[in-house]
Amino acid sequence: MKNVKNMSVPLLCSVFLFSVAVFLWVFGVYVVGSMGQSCMIEWQFLSMCGVDWSLPVIVDYISVIFSCFVCLISGSVSLFSVSYMEGEIFMRRFMLLIMAFVGSMNLLIFIPSLITVLLGWDGLGIVSFALVIYYQNKKSLAAGMLTVLANRIGDALLILSICFLINWGEWRIGYGMTGSFGLLVCLLVVVGAMTKSAQIPFSAWLPAAMAAPTPVSALVHSSTLVTAGVYLVIRFYSTLIETQEVLWFLSKIGALTLLMAGLSACFEVDLKKIIALSTLSQLGLMMFTVGVGFPVIAVFHLFTHALFKALLFLCAGSIIHATMDSQDGRILGNLNYLLPFSSSCLVLSSVALCGMPFLSGFYSKDLILESVFSSFNGSLEVFVMLMGAGLSLVYSLRILLMGVFGQNYGSGLFTYGTESGYVVSSIIVLSMGAIMGGWLLQSVWVNVNGFSLVGVFGKVIIGFVTFFGVSYSFVSFFLVKVFGKKFFGGLSRFLSSMWFMNMVSGSFLAGVGLKWGGLMHLHLDLGWMEVLGGQGAFSALKKGIGLSYVMQSGSLLVYTRVFLILLVLFLVCILSW
């Protein structure tokens, strides 16, 4: 009976989230769409010294549809958790953290003011730490510390940008804010967003966060935590466009992250980490798209990516759950016979990730490639972007060849389970989104219909980039050893280690940062700050109280001494003056 009560909690949460998603979709399409413009609702708390303290809420196509997709994916994850977290004792606590995560993300979505964005921004960081360390082992704690330390850097940079915004007298970032510290504020906001979206050099925490339960990974890597930085940059693009140096820097970092994550995913063997690195690659593509001047297309790709990436994680979670927690791609295989539904949906989500025509990923990815061709960028930058976009088919094929169609080197068939009805239902919901999401968005959102004319040569290159990774299947079957040794023999360790990002950012934050924190605690908190601070003040107060007791003891000799001392001090002061 207790287990039934525990399982009723995620069911109720999923029903609630699905209802909110349906309401937001109807509201966003018919109400916001009929108005044809965004509106802002603002509650003013107080006005002091020319600065308004208010809570603004912005309602437009981007915020309403994004919140709708967050609730839809969260509802599917809650439904998936009914089966995946079946033996969990503290199911109510787990679902409370999930709902807090969704609430923090919605706060971030609807509030355009930096000082109130911190409510959702810090909420995401704190709840993500609690979710990553949920299994309470050493690996989870190390990953949680790395995650929260990287996020705290972004929090500190946002707080610094708020401090500099005092010069403008406005907490919202909008048009025309090119006064003093304009470039610095924009740079702080962009670098703070890069920490949350795991761009170079803050990339180490995202694969480490795979220590969380798979439902949490599906939520974190699709529509909530990692997309918060991209959404912040897109929301404040109207100010960033006035500082072209910051956008130039953002495009270069996004292109490098896209290439680095794509190459690392081609050498990874852990199933969940390959999907995590594919998320990092797509985040780099979104940042690059914003940097070259197409924020609407970037947010369109953000929405479509959330749908098929959540589906990819849920299918991988179903496979891991059914194979007794096996996620090593070297021993998985033949799952198309053992788990046909999850395997077929894994193929569907991987194909959508590649940009197969008429699936959701095709509409946004093809539009990004066309826009980059029609914009004025350097040839090297365009080549890096095309290389990174083409690698998506390579690591998607690696997932399928390792997990679905390859040889099984695991245990016997008796260890495999079957998909429950809750898993199937949640995967069906996201499968419909992966198939029809891009078409639905393009039919109701006029700004993402795409009118870029790139010519026949450009379309041929785009098609080649989308499908050239098919050659990897032949290489994998026939020439994998020769190809690997010849081209990537000496670089394999460098490429598989995310260009040593674990040492650059992970070891620096978790190792050097914690070491210096311990030294500061030892020498500052327990050292001279304690002598001059708490213990020192207590000792001085204790001695002063003892002296006052002596002075008020009632002895004539003590009073005479005090009188003579005060008289001498008075005469010295008079004579020196």
pLDDT digits (tens, 9 = 90+) for 222-259: 778 888 888 888 888 888 887 888 888 888 888 888 88
Residue bearing the bigger pLDDT, 140 or 487:
140
* 408-419 core/surface letters (b: 16 or more CB in 10 A; e: else): bebeeeeebeeb
The closest alpha carbon to 253, from 291, 294, 221, belongs to 291
Phi, psi angle pair for 42, to nearest 5°: -135, 130
pLDDT given for residue 1 in this prediction: 40
In a domain, 347, yes or no: yes
Range 550-571 average pLDDT: 79
Q: Which residues pair with 51 in a beta bridge?
A: 48
Please give the full DSSP string across 479-537, using - where no structure is assigned: SHHHHHHHHHTTTHHHHHTTTTHIIIIIHIIIIIIHHHHHHHIIIIIIIIHHHHTHHHH
Instruction: Let me know how long the chain is.
Output: 577
In a domain, 149, yes or no: no
In a domain, 266, yes or no: yes
In a domain, 270, yes or no: yes
Residue bearing the bigger pLDDT, 64 or 419:
64
Token digits of residue 454: 């790139």
* 186-206 core/surface letters (b: 16 or more CB in 10 A; e: else): bbbbbbbbbbbbbbbbbbbbb
pTM of the model: 0.81
In a domain, 43, yes or no: no
Instruction: Tell me the average pLDDT of the chain.
Output: 77
Range 162-180 average pLDDT: 66
pLDDT band at 57 (very low <50, low <70, confident <90, very high): confident
pLDDT given for residue 456 in this prediction: 65
Residue 36's region, left for phi above 0, alpha for psi from -120 to 50, else beta, is left
pLDDT given for residue 281 in this prediction: 87
Q: What is the DSSP letter of 31?
A: I
Range 478-492 average pLDDT: 55
In a domain, 285, yes or no: yes
In a domain, 198, yes or no: no
The closest alpha carbon to 254, from 452, 388, 396, belongs to 388
Spatial neighbors of 100 by CB under 8 A, at least 6 apart, are: 123, 127
Range 288-317 average pLDDT: 86
Is residue 431 scored above 60 in pLDDT?
A: yes
Q: Which residue has the tokens 């990174």?
A: 388
Task: Count how many domains the chain has.
Answer: 1
Q: Which residue has the tokens 């009723």?
A: 8
pLDDT given for residue 513 in this prediction: 63
Residue bearing the bigger pLDDT, 105 or 539:
105
pLDDT given for residue 50 in this prediction: 63
pLDDT given for residue 414 in this prediction: 46
Other CB atoms within 10 A of residue 67 CB: 23
Would you say 88 and 52 are in contact if contact means Cβ atoms under 8 Å apart? no
In a domain, 303, yes or no: yes
User: CA 16 → CA 72, 77, 195, 225, distances in Å?
Assistant: 10, 13, 32, 21
Range 411-425 average pLDDT: 65
Q: What is the DSSP letter of 469?
A: G
**What SS3 state is found at 39?**
strand
Residue 302 lies in domain: 246-477
Between CA 461 and CA 573 the distance in angstroms is 90
Q: Is the dihedral of CA 62, 200, 355, 328 positive or negative?
A: negative
Is residue 194 scored above 60 in pLDDT?
A: yes
